[in-house]
């Protein structure tokens, strides 16, 4: 072995022995790394993870602390045998920027700081959690008659462009001589966007060619991430336009050339007086709104958080009530993974895509759960995706003698029909064949439904109503700060080993090329020299 090769090997071995202690020191040094969620939600539990690096002997007796906005949330003393990963829960308050700081210290007072890491997040509202209540429109009104709720021949519209018309035909069965006391039209829209930006729709609605102006507009949106487009409920007073059996035709048009939206369906609620009725008086409460709910791991909302609450005030005492019925309107509820809470009554899996997957409603007898005064109602998601948008409570009062007819549906039964009075719409069979649509999937339609929808002026070419709403509000904070050197011990070790490998390669390469040049100079013939260099 030549002296040059021996020298190369000697330098390599010395480099390894010199650098190994540095790598070992990096391995033994203390450090920490904090992981803060990309999205921090206000009024929700946000989980923060802190990893401690180094041997147990090195961090035993040290203190790990977490701060939010300079306030100490938690401090733990570390000991041998402790875990290296620690979980903290932090509840952000307010839609403001927050500073989250993890500290590794030598003392209980957290003054002799060894390592620290800081990140910033701006808290946002998680639209997948219950963020708005259904609000009262009427409360405790009385009528000596009955009620009707119908979706007519509603169906999911698909994307509505400026040239499209979405229409729904209603055939309510009002008895002869009935006088409409309250008629209300509900338009449930979704997936409204302009390009990639979520916006409210430029929607115009008419009933029998009579333009309508909404007197209430409700909307909600996811508020973060992709496909952040709003959903909403617009309601209209059509009492003066509904007087008999109909038919009545509602039409939706889009007046904006670039803003597209979809309609889940249109509902018509009628409360009427009937002088010929033998039933006892009816008292009713109408609550309206729009609240997106989704309790899944990717929604960052628990089932308890994904709950919409609403209230009915001044309800008669149970002794005065013959029957109590709740009409609940829930667009997109179709999997049955949901729950209705009425005071202490629990009703599981009510919304199963009836009468069609993009709109579900239920007529629930809540007589046993009702109480006098304030009644609390909750719509809870258990892994479904749904948008509670309406709750109508109807109580049939007892007569003075304690008798009186019972309201439909009978006690203990639940109905799901297009017309609450029991009249099914002519399109019911067709509607039941519709399939739920989700973003990114091609539209699924019942055989022959496309031709029927084209006759109504509806084009179905948009991939579904989607599960996400609104505008991106989140802003992430500063880059990770991981101590004086800006690297974790693991990063230090990797950098040192990489440097060692590069040094060895450069040293070997240098001495190899130098040996070739020396040998070339010793040869008399240049051709041999060139051949050796080319090798």
**Residue 454 in contact with residue 381, Cβ under 8 Å?**
no
Q: In what order do the strands lie in the sheet with 307-315?
A: 307-315, 373-381, 338-342, 345-348
Report the pLDDT averaged over residues 316-339: 96
354-396 pLDDT per residue, tens? 999 999 999 999 999 999 999 999 999 999 999 999 999 999 9
Higher pLDDT, 89 or 452: 89
**Band of residue 495 on the pLDDT scale cut at 50, 70, 90:** very low
pLDDT, the chain, mean: 77
| Region 270-294 average pLDDT | 94
Q: What is the pLDDT of residues 3-51, one digit of tens each?
A: 555 555 555 555 555 454 544 444 456 788 999 999 999 988 899 999 9
CATH class, range 135-455: mainly beta
More confidently predicted of 419 and 219 = 219
| pLDDT at site 275 | 87
Superfamily of domain 31-125+476-489: SOR catalytic domain (2.60.40.730)
Tokens representing residue 18 in the block = 């010199």
- Tokens 């000697």 appear where? 10
The beta strands (E) that lie in 24-130 are given as: 31-35, 45-53, 63-68, 71-77, 85-91, 97-105, 113-122
Where b means 16+ CB within 10 Å and e means fewer, 197-235 reads: ebbbbbbebebeeeebebeeebbbbbbbbebbbbbbbbb
pTM (2 d.p.)? 0.69
Q: How far apart are CA 442 and CA 464, in angstroms?
A: 8
Percent of the chain topping pLDDT 90: 59
User: Which ranges of 332-436 would DSSP assign to H, the alpha helix?
Assistant: 428-431
Q: What distance in Å separates the CA atoms of residue 432 and residue 357, rounded to the nearest whole number?
A: 8
What residues does each domain of the chain span? 3-13+15-24+494-534, 31-125+476-489, 135-455
Instruction: Give the separation between CA 36 and CA 119, rounded to whole angstroms.
Output: 8
CA–CA separation, 413 vs 526, rounded Å?
A: 104
| 282-306 mean pLDDT | 95
The whole-angstrom separation of Cα 271 and Cα 181 is 6
SS3 assignment for 150-176 = ECCCCCCCCCECCCCEEEEEECCCCCC
pLDDT band, very low/low/confident/very high, at 116 (cuts 50, 70, 90) = very high
Look up residue 446 and give its two tokens: 């019942």
Host H or E run for residue 518: helix 489-522
What's the CA angle centered on 367, arms 362 and 368, to 5 degrees? 115
């Amino acid at each position: 072995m030549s002296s040059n090769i021996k020298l190369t090997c000697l330098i390599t071995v010395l480099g390894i022995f010199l650098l190994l202690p540095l790598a070992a020191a990096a391995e033994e040094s203390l450090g920490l790394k904090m992981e803060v969620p990309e999205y921090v939600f206000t009024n929700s539990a946000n989980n923060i993870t802190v990893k401690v690096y180094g041997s147990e002997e090195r961090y035993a007796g040290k203190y790990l602390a977490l701060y939010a906005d300079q306030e100490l949330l938690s401090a733990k003393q570390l000991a041998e045998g402790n875990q290296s990963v620690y979980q903290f829960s932090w509840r952000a308050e307010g839609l403001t920027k927050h500073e989250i700081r993890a500290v590794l210290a030598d003392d209980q007072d957290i003054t002799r700081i060894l390592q620290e890491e800081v990140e910033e997040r701006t808290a946002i509202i998680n639209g997948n959690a219950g963020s708005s209540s259904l609000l009262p429109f009427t409360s405790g009104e009385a009528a000596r008659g009955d009620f009707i709720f119908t979706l007519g021949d509603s169906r999911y519209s698909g994307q509505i462009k400026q040239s499209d018309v979405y229409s729904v035909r209603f055939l309510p069965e009002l008895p002869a001589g009935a006088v409409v006391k309250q008629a209300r039209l509900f338009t449930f829209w979704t997936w409204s966007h302009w390009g990639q930006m979520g916006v409210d729709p430029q929607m115009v609605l008419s009933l029998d060619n009579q333009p309508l102006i909404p007197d209430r507009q409700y909307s909600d949106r996811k508020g973060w991430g992709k496909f952040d487009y709003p959903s909403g409920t617009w309601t209209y007073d059509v009492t003066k336009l509904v007087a008999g059996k109909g038919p009545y035709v509602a039409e939706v048009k889009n007046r904006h050339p670039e803003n597209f939206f979809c309609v889940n369906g249109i509902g018509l609620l009628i409360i009427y007086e009937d002088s010929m009725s033998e039933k006892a008086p009816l008292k009713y409460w109408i609550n309206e709104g729009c609240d997106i709910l989704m309790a899944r791991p990717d929604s960052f909302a628990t089932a308890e958080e994904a709950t919409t609450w609403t209230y009915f005030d001044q309800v008669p005492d149970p002794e005065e009530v013959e029957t109590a019925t709740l009409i609940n309107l829930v667009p997109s509820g179709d999997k049955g993974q949901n729950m209705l809470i009425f005071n202490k009554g629990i009703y599981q899996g009510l919304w199963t895509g009836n009468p069609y997957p993009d709109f579900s409603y239920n007529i629930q007898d809540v007589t046993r759960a009702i109480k006098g005064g304030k009644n609390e109602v909750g719509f809870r998601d258990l892994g479904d995706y749904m948008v509670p948008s309406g709750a109508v409570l109807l109580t049939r009062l007892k007569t003075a003698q304690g008798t009186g007819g019972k309201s439909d549906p009978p006690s203990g039964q639940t109905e799901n029909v297009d017309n609450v009075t029991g009249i099914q719409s002519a399109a019911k069979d067709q509607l039941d064949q519709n399939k739920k649509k989700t973003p990114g999937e091609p539209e699924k339609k019942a055989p022959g439904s496309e031709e029927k929808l084209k006759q109504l002026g509806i084009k179905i070419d948009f991939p579904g109503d989607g599960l996400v709403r609104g505008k991106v509000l989140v802003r992430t904070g500063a880059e990770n700060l991981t101590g004086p050197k800006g690297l974790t011990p693991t990063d230090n070790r990797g950098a040192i080993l990489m440097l060692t490998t590069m040094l060895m390669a450069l040293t070997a390469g240098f001495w190899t090329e130098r040996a070739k040049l020396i040998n070339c100079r010793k040869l008399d013939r240049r051709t041999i020299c060139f051949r050796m260099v080319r090798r």
